[in-house]
Amino acid sequence: MKQVELVNRSVLEERLESLGLLEGTERVIERMKEHVRSMVMQLHEVFLVAVRFMKNDLLETVRFAFTTTEHDDPPEDEGIEEPVHVVFLLLEHEEQ
């Protein structure tokens, strides 16, 4: 199983907090990791993950854009499997 690392988690947390959805951070990250493990094949591939949240008795769909990237400091030991590094790019949400 591929190890997946979100490089800029604090940026994702800031954006979710601004929407009052900070408690959903782990759910978003888990969905992103599942997507990377099952569907992402290349570096610099941009992909979307959609997550639904209940907020104030309203259902909100939030879409997150991520991209895979190379790590700035690759491991020196070539036998170690490098984790897939992911960068959060942006989110959009709609209230229903």
pLDDT value, residue 13: 97
pLDDT value, residue 47: 95
pLDDT in tens, the chain (96 residues): 589 999 999 999 999 999 999 999 999 999 999 999 999 888 899 999 999 998 888 888 999 999 999 877 665 666 667 889 999 999 998 765
User: In angstroms, rounded to a whole number, what is the distance separating the alpha carbons of residues 66 and 14?
Assistant: 15
pLDDT value, residue 73: 66
* Strand, coil or helix: 38: helix
Cα dihedral 92/25/2/34 (nearest 10): -60
Whether this prediction's pTM lies above 0.95 is answered by no
